[in-house]
Structures are given as structure tokens and as C-alpha cells.
């Protein structure tokens, strides 16, 4: 362990949200700094991994990504098991994907650990056709004790900030 590393932590992050909101793009932007306009993963539930050093703590992060099962609005309970962070994603240009946030939050509360840290994320802020107002989501997030972020996986806006902030919210195991 190098001198500047004070601690190593292993975190499981799950991505939730409707198909097409940009879950895979967010994971790829964070782990590989990569974006593809027509990226269509064809193979089953993927992991994306990354190690990040935030102020001397190394976070070994495993991001669980869906592979189209979200279309059925239901994911296996394995997916939620022992996750430290859940990222609930909607598309700021699509009201229906925002309305689904409530559904994904209920699924998470039902299947996930009690102490999970939750982020609600409005993605695609590079697009001009916004149909979900920031203020509205801020209030919802506050009511639900969730953190709120806006991102563009396409341009990379807010992505590092999202993961760094959320990693730091996870309390140390006793
Ligand atoms: P998923 O189904 O939630 O995993 O969504 P994907 O990551 O596959 O993205 C769905 C589509 O939205 C793809 O065509 C992406 O290129 C596009 N996309 C994802 N993130 C952004 C973004 O931040 N801005 C824009 N303009 N397009 C995005
Ligand atoms: Mg995907």
C-alpha cells in the first residue's frame, strides 16, 4: 500500500432507471471516459469497475448495470443485494422516465439494504429540450432523503462529481 493511501474500501453501486436514460453511458463515462452515440450493449448484466483515490481513501468500485431487464420494470433481488449506493437515473427530456423514479425507489426500498445511499440523477443536460424542471426534482429528492445531481454522460458534465460525492456519503463499516 503506498504511503498516501490511508484506507481501501470496496463499494457496490447499482444503476436503476428506465431503458434509454443513459445508465450504461454514465457507467462508461466514469470508468473509461468513453461515450458512444449508438452504444447498444447486447450481452447480459454487466459490471463496470474502477478504483478511485479520494483524499487518500481508495475506493474499489463495482458498478452493476442492467442489460435490458429494466424494460420489464423489475430486476432480480440479487441486483440490489448489499449495494452501498443506488443511482436512480431519468432523462431530463422525458417526463415519463422521471415519473418512473418513484417506481425504482420503491423497488430499491423493498429489495435493497436499509442504509443505502441514494442519488437521483437527471441525465442528458446537454440537450435543449428539457421537460423536467430542476427545482421540482430538488424538492422530491429532499423529501425522500436522496441526493440530487444533473449530468451529461455525453459531455462528461457532473459525472466525476456524482461518484465522488456519493462514495464519500457511505459510512465506514463498524
Ligand atoms: P440505458 O438504457 O439507460 O443504459 O441508456 P444508454 O446508456 O444505452 O443510452 C441510451 C441512449 O442515450 C444512447 O443512444 C446514448 O448515446 C444516449 N445518451 C446517454 N447519455 C446521454 C447524454 O448525456 N446526452 C445525450 N445527448 N445522449 C445520451
Ligand atoms: Mg444500458
- pLDDT tens per residue across span 152-168: 999 999 999 999 999 99
Q: Are strands 7-16 and 85-91 parallel, antiparallel or unpaired?
A: parallel
Q: Give the strand order in the sheet containing 47-54.
A: 47-54, 57-64, 7-16, 85-91, 117-123, 147-150
Q: Which atom of ligand 1 is nearest to the CA of 89?
A: 3
What's the CA-to-centroid distance between 5 and ligand 1, angstroms? Answer: 35
Site to probe by mutation for ligand 1, drawn from 16, 25, 37 as the one with most ligand atoms within 8 Å of Cβ, is 25
**What is the pLDDT of the chain when averaged over all its residues?**
92
Ligand 1 binding pocket includes 88 (Cβ within 6 Å): no
Q: Which atom of ligand 1 is nearest to the CA of 66?
A: 4
* Three-point CA angle 144, 50, 102, nearest 5°: 20
Q: Which of 98, 162, 100 is nearest to 130 (CA)?
A: 98
Please report the pLDDT score of residue 46 as a whole number: 80
Please report the pLDDT score of residue 38 as a whole number: 77
Ligand 1 binding pocket includes 97 (Cβ within 6 Å): no
Residue nearest to atom 20 of ligand 1 (CA): 22
Ligand 1 binding pocket includes 48 (Cβ within 6 Å): no
Kindly tell me if the per-residue pLDDT of 141 is higher than 70: yes
Residue nearest to atom 18 of ligand 1 (CA): 22
- pTM equals 0.94
Q: State the distance between the two ends of the chain, measured CA to CA, in whole angstroms.
A: 22
Ligand 1 binding pocket includes 100 (Cβ within 6 Å): no
Amino acid at each position: 500500500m503506498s504511503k498516501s493511501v490511508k484506507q481501501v474500501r470496496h463499494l457496490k453501486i447499482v444503476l436503476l432507471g428506465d431503458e434509454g436514460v443513459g445508465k450504461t453511458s454514465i457507467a462508461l463515462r466514469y470508468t473509461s471516459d468513453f461515450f458512444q452515440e449508438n452504444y447498444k450493449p447486447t450481452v447480459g448484466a454487466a459490471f463496470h469497475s474502477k478504483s478511485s483515490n479520494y483524499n487518500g481513501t481508495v475506493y474499489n468500485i463495482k458498478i452493476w448495470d442492467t442489460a435490458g431487464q429494466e424494460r420489464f420494470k423489475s430486476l432480480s433481488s440479487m441486483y440490489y443485494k448489499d449495494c452501498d449506493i443506488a443511482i436512480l437515473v431519468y432523462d431530463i427530456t422525458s417526463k415519463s422516465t422521471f415519473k418512473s423514479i418513484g417506481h425504482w425507489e420503491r423497488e430499491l426500498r423493498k429489495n435493497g439494504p436499509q442504509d443505502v445511499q441514494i442519488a437521483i440523477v437527471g441525465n442528458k443536460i446537454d440537450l435543449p429540450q428539457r421537460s423536467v424542471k430542476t427545482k421540482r426534482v430538488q424538492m422530491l429528492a429532499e423529501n425522500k432523503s436522496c441526493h440530487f445531481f444533473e449530468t451529461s454522460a455525453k459531455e462528461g458534465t457532473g459525472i466525476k462529481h456524482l461518484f465522488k460525492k456519493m462514495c464519500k456519503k457511505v459510512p465506514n463499516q463498524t
